[in-house]
Structure 1
Amino acid sequence: MAKDNNTPQRKPRFSSWWIYGLIIVFLIGYQFLGSDNFSPTNKTTTSELQEFLRNGDIEKILIITNTRQAKVFLTQEALSKDVHRDVANQPFSITSGTLPQYILDYGDLQNFENDIKKIKQENNLDTVVDYDTESNVFMELLLTLLPFVLIIGIWIYLMRRMSGGAGGGAGGQIFNIGKSKAKLFDEKTDTRTTFKDVAGLEGAKEEVEEIVEFLKNPDKYTSLGGKIPKGALLVGPPGTGKTLLAKAVAGEAKVPFFSLSGSDFVEMFVGVGASRVRDLFKQAKDKSPAIIFIDEIDAIGRARGKNNFTGSNDERENTLNQLLTEMDGFGSNTNVIVLAATNRADVLDKALMRAGRFDRLIYVDLPDIRERKEIFEVHLRPIKTAETLDLDFLARQTPGFSGADIANVCNEAALIAARKERPAVTKQDFLDAVDRIVGGLEKKNKIITPEEKKTIAFHEAGHATVSWMLEHAAPLVKVTIVPRGQSLGAAWYLPEERLLVRPEQMKDEMCATLGGRAAEKVIFNKISTGALSDLEKITKQARAMVTIYGLNDEIGNVTFYDSSGQNEYGFTKPYSEETARKIDMEISKLIEEQYVRAIEVLEANKDKLTELAELLLEKEVIFKEDLERIFGKRPFEKQFDQLGQEKAITVPESTAGETPEEAEEAVEEKK
């Protein structure tokens, strides 16, 4: 196979660790190969040494006192003897010249000296006996410097870790800790996201598209005397697509795009945050026109001086002050637009929100039914579906879902289909995915006694019955007594997407929520703890009606809601003790009225409630069709047009107990 010459060859990257490794190898080689450790000198014994000495073969004996070794050097005549043939030709040592022919380890120095002296006197020998000590310079130097090297190495390692990375780049080195850690978007190598990948969010997209247009054609606006905006703040709930919009701007702008998080400015060292802000804007100004995107800006943009009880220097406030100066100060940067995103705009400093810094406040709200349909179209592209899905139906089944939630639904549906070994994803898989995300994982093996199961069945049937009989309650989808997540049973509704809510609508919803406890009271004349989540929900609703929306006649058109969020930090309530007592009484009165109303509805339909609960005990899951068979057509039916907008059709009361066919005929007659 021919090799493609155009393919770039990957060269090994140079690393400073190579140099360190070579130095270590050289020192080890010098220690062992350049010393006597690997010399071919033979080991001998004391008895052999004495024999060599008596034969007059030894010219010199060098006694090393600190290592208890003796080095033996032979005479020239002895080297010609056969007995010393193996040590006759010795190499030359770099460190100590000619090497000894023999080395021996002696025991007691005094006895060793006496034996040599005695043999010399008996044989009248002139053998030289010298004394010396040996030292390993390398090891001594290593042991001396090793503690300092370890301390310095550990210090450098910790400083690199604290400064944001062990490698190179801005912030990676010890002296670059004040450098910006922003990532520069490269349109050639990074994954490119365009505005086509952002479904829904028409208003927000128009705003950010205009910002891109400002940078591409600034003369179009400046020729009329206008100024390019300094910044835009994206505000909205989590998962609505704020960061996705910023990615689309990076892919469309064709200008340098710096991206970082608000927490990237925060460091344990004083002054680092402000230094990084200065360095970030310096880089952006050098590459202008440019865009800076700061995600989760509330990490550094909180209101100043609210909780600084200690009076100490606040590093976060210093960082915010520097950001305010860079965005709009005496030395303002031109052609540098700042995009920021947060879901907590209420805690941001007012100086940061003013015109001239963030000129535009772009709200990224939860998608409506039409936008959810578009989001489904985007996320269903890689999904292998078994049929042509009704996207209008899926959009209606996911009220209140954000873009991230819808992406999770599509992914969860694919996982469910794969778990069931299906070749493609079906409509039921998407419904199961919605149930899984909203309610949690099914727990069919949870141990429930028959008495508890019966109580749960009547509880859920009570919810279904009351909601079916009330005009403004959310239409029912299905009821289940299969434990899911933290709940032992659930009734699934499809709430209307209202922009304005009236008191009667809120009361109907509260009454339907209390239908579970009311059913327990009607059937068993007992109540249980199973209504905890219901009571929590209606208490919040009743408190909101009385204290926030001004929907209570006794309290009047007064609200105690503070949109700035400063009441959370206060130690006093914005109303008197007498008003607090009235609020508590009105909340309790409102809840008890709806509880009595739910009991009345269930008493009037007790036989149908019992039939529904028994069906629920048998099947464990029932749907809207089962309720229509038991109760007849719902008195207040909802239909949807082609655009997904709801149209209300009122069914006459006389049709409540008729068959579905008779009810439809009655509706047609009324039309």
Structure 2
Amino acid sequence: MTKEKQNKRPKFSAYWIYAILLLFIFGMNFFSGGGMWYQPKETSQAKFEEFLRNGDVARVVVVNKREAKIYLTPEALEKEAHKDVRGDNSLISSGASSEIPQYKFELGDLSNFENKFDQIVAENNLTTTREYKTEQNVIGDLLITLLPFVLIIGIWIFLMRRMSGGGAGGAGGQIFNIGKSKAKLFDEKNDTKVTFKDVAGLEGAKEEVQEIVEFLKQPEKYTSLGGKIPKGALLVGPPGTGKTLLAKAVAGEARVPFFSLSGSDFVEMFVGVGASRVRDLFKQAKEKSPAIIFIDEIDAIGRARGKNNFTGSNDERENTLNQLLTEMDGFGTNTNVIVLAATNRADVLDKALMRAGRFDRQIYVDLPDLNERKEIFEVHLRPIKTSETLDLDFLSKQTPGFSGADIANVCNEAALIAARKGKKAVDRQDFLDAVDRIVGGLEKKNKIITPDEKKTIAFHEAGHATVSWMLEHAAPLVKVTIVPRGQSLGAAWYLPEERQIVRTEQMLDEMCATLGGRAAEKVMFNKISTGALSDLEKVTRQARAMVTIYGLNDKIGNLTYYDSTGQSEYNFSKPYSEETAQIIDKEISTIIESQYERAVQLLEDNKDKLTELANLLLEREVIFKDDLETIFGERNFNQEEPQQESVTE
């Protein structure tokens, strides 16, 4: 209780001293100058000469040869002309009026004033006297002398306090703390609510990370057998797969200090700041050891050294990386400090950073599979009011290739769509609309499209559907629409099966189905349009991968020009000769054109069914798998139930 009372006491502020000093200075300045409580009334020299001729002036005091103070006679004070100064003079009755001036005015030329004064006194035979006096305002003169120095010193103190954070500023926020770490500390006082229960899927990654947490909680379980804790673990994977979420779960599970920051927090425009922040970060972690340091997006400082430094100048990023390497595995390294890092660009990281002894473990966080997507849906659907008939297996099948962040976006978008429609719960159709919204974009039903363009789009999408239905390895169709979405004028949704490896015939069938749209335009109108841009981009990328990456071309053979380390991006020359480049270009063109001719032939053979499907699409704008079965019949290929979906344009 004593400490609480002490904390409640008002803190002393230096501003009170400043206020007292200012009041003292103003008081001294106000009361200086003969104890005057008021200022004489301003007048002019012409008025003064009039007062002098009338015999109203008892005496005149010239102060510092610049100002004349006029003292009136007691008789003059009783005149109506001087009633203004009579009211201010409270000392008339006491006989002290002669000590208080009633008027004052600024002198122009002193000699001229003296001549005029003497002339009037002589002409009117007056007894008015003239005196000279020198007054000094000590406080004012002192202020004028010291004020510039006081202002300079005050500004300097203010800037120093601001730059040093004022004693209460956050570390790293001001110029004198610029070398301090910006890491956010999570401990028993600043706890996080995320645990491993909130991380769905990622079983392998959770197991490895959880082992690090267990080691910090019970180190004797491992050290008794001679084992050593890993010094670092690197989380690698595509964006949105849950790397940062996994680190948050570690912060929630581990009962040890957890320092969290981004790789860009080390980067500043000042030389040496990054290395200084690394030193300060590890210093804080060692003081609170055992502890965990989490560096998100470590590729901001961990890129391979010596690749872009053509000028030979000092590279601040490289200095920061060198300091990080030293802190992680140098002399005096504290083994009770573990470093977790996350990146989706592991191929550009420096090899020295990736070696054993620094990041001993590389944990790959991949896109979730079918079962993991179901678990992720269960996590994100907890706060959402859903319909009782909602099937999570169906939802997981409708979101192939979606990351955890994408699924969270689907759930949120479905809730917004249901609320927009005024529903009390989110149902299956809302989730389907949300998937369509995210994959294809927002519907643009009011977009102006001519009938001729609409007919071309309908046959284009019908061509995709027809060719994909006829080919064994092409993905079966789910839905086709000619309602504009996003930047596309039409779209077709498919459910491809999950594959770990892809064979040549599978890639060729997919390319043929992708070219079905342009082939349909050629078959029906004998003209082609620019609507197949995304299709051409996709097949060109696939054909180039077949030839240059996967070694699926007979002419090139079992060669690959793909560099998984990412070092080839710094080379100025291609890894093959000009002759080989010509062969590659020719083979890519041959593959694409052969599949295009194949699609044209398929559509020529099924032209009547293509026309029927396109007319149905023009009528309804959206058709589904059942409509294709009605027109083409069931697919005769022995395939398992499709599990994924994608979109082509």
User: TM-score per shorter chain, which class?
Assistant: 0.7 to 0.9
Measure the CA separation in 2 of the matches of 1:473 and 1:58.
120
Q: Do 2:480 and 2:493's aligned partners in 1 also have CA atoms closer than 8 Å?
A: yes
Q: Name the structure 2 match of 1:331.
A: 332
Measure the CA separation in 1 of the matches of 2:458 and 2:37.
88
Q: Map residues 50-449 of structure 1 onto 2, 5 A cutoff.
A: 50=49, 52-53=51-52, 54-55=54-55, 57-63=57-63, 70-73=68-71, 83=83, 85-89=86-90, 100-104=101-105, 112-121=113-122, 122-130=124-132, 137=141, 140=144, 144=148, 160=163, 168-449=169-450
Answer with 591-600 or 207-216: which moved more.
591-600
**Deviations, residues 213-251 of structure 1 (Å, cap 9, x unaligned):** 010000110111111110100000111111101111011
Following superposition, the deviation at residue 30 of structure 1 comes to 5.4
Q: Name the structure 2 match of 1:467.
A: 468
Following superposition, the deviation at residue 63 of structure 1 comes to 4.9
Q: Do 1:165 and 1:171's aligned partners in 2 also have CA atoms closer than 8 Å?
A: no
1:166–1:285 Cα change, 3 Å: closer
Following superposition, the deviation at residue 51 of structure 1 comes to 5.6
SS in 1 for 2:600: helix
Following superposition, the deviation at residue 313 of structure 1 comes to 1.2
Q: Name the structure 2 match of 1:657.
A: none
**Deviations, residues 256-313 of structure 1 (Å, cap 9, x unaligned):** 1111111111111111111111111111101100000111111111111122111111
Measure the CA separation in 2 of the matches of 1:113 and 1:460.
110
Q: Name the structure 2 match of 1:654.
A: none
Q: Map residues 502-521 of structure 1 onto 2, 5 A cutoff.
A: 502-521=503-522
1:140–1:436 Cα change, 3 Å: farther
Answer with 135-144 or 470-479: which moved more.
135-144
Answer with 415-424 or 620-629: which moved more.
415-424
Measure the CA separation in 2 of the matches of 1:27 and 1:420.
71
Q: Do 2:180 and 2:277's aligned partners in 1 also have CA atoms closer than 8 Å?
A: yes
Measure the CA separation in 2 of the matches of 1:433 and 1:418.
12
Q: Which amino acid aligns with 2:41?
A: N
**Deviations, residues 523-554 of structure 1 (Å, cap 9, x unaligned):** 00111111111011001101111111111122
Answer with 113-122 or 30-39: which moved more.
30-39
Q: Which amino acid aligns with 1:398?
A: T
Measure the CA separation in 1 of the matches of 2:136 and 2:524.
102
Q: How many matched pairs?
A: 627
Q: Do 1:459 and 1:516's aligned partners in 2 also have CA atoms closer than 8 Å?
A: yes
Q: Name the structure 1 match of 2:456.
A: 455
Following superposition, the deviation at residue 14 of structure 1 comes to 6.8
Following superposition, the deviation at residue 85 of structure 1 comes to 3.8
Q: Do 1:167 and 1:173's aligned partners in 2 also have CA atoms closer than 8 Å?
A: no
1:187–1:402 Cα change, 3 Å: farther
Answer with 572-581 or 323-332: which moved more.
572-581
Measure the CA separation in 1 of the matches of 2:218 and 2:350.
32
Measure the CA separation in 2 of the matches of 1:606 and 1:165.
80
Q: Which amino acid aligns with 2:212?
A: I
Q: Percent identity?
A: 73
Q: Which amino acid aligns with 2:613?
A: L
1:38–1:520 Cα change, 3 Å: farther
SS in 2 for 1:211: helix
SS in 1 for 2:592: helix
Following superposition, the deviation at residue 62 of structure 1 comes to 3.4
1:313–1:103 Cα change, 3 Å: same
1:42 corresponds to 2:41: yes
Q: Map residues 4-23 of structure 1 onto 2, 5 A cutoff.
A: 22=19
Answer with 201-210 or 76-85: which moved more.
76-85
Q: Name the structure 1 match of 2:539.
A: 538
Q: Map residues 586-605 of structure 1 onto 2, 5 A cutoff.
A: 586-605=587-606
Measure the CA separation in 2 of the matches of 1:387 and 1:634.
33
Q: Do 2:523 and 2:604's aligned partners in 1 also have CA atoms closer than 8 Å?
A: yes
**Deviations, residues 497-521 of structure 1 (Å, cap 9, x unaligned):** 2111111111110010000000001
Gaps of 5+ in 1: 1-6, 91-97, 647-671
**Deviations, residues 6-50 of structure 1 (Å, cap 9, x unaligned):** x99997997979569848974995598567999454344556544
Answer with 417-426 or 271-280: which moved more.
417-426
Q: Name the structure 2 match of 1:578.
A: 579
Q: Name the structure 1 match of 2:94.
A: none
1:167–1:517 Cα change, 3 Å: farther
**Deviations, residues 579-599 of structure 1 (Å, cap 9, x unaligned):** 212211211111111111111
Following superposition, the deviation at residue 151 of structure 1 comes to 8.2
SS in 1 for 2:70: strand
Following superposition, the deviation at residue 418 of structure 1 comes to 2.3
Q: Do 1:257 and 1:291's aligned partners in 2 also have CA atoms closer than 8 Å?
A: yes
Q: Which amino acid aligns with 1:225?
A: G
**Deviations, residues 58-82 of structure 1 (Å, cap 9, x unaligned):** 344335666xx54334578877999
Measure the CA separation in 1 of the matches of 2:29 and 2:435.
71
* RMSD, matched Cα: 3.5
SS in 2 for 1:334: coil
Q: Map residues 477-556 of structure 1 onto 2, 5 A cutoff.
A: 477-556=478-557
Following superposition, the deviation at residue 206 of structure 1 comes to 0.4
Following superposition, the deviation at residue 345 of structure 1 comes to 0.5
Following superposition, the deviation at residue 443 of structure 1 comes to 1.7
1:40–1:550 Cα change, 3 Å: same
Measure the CA separation in 1 of the matches of 2:263 and 2:166.
18
1:417–1:39 Cα change, 3 Å: farther
Measure the CA separation in 1 of the matches of 2:105 and 2:188.
74
Gaps of 5+ in 2: 92-98
1:33–1:607 Cα change, 3 Å: farther
Following superposition, the deviation at residue 496 of structure 1 comes to 1.9
1:427–1:101 Cα change, 3 Å: farther
SS in 2 for 1:62: strand
1:617–1:145 Cα change, 3 Å: farther
Measure the CA separation in 2 of the matches of 1:637 and 1:62.
121
Q: Name the structure 2 match of 1:569.
A: 570
Measure the CA separation in 1 of the matches of 2:377 and 2:534.
31
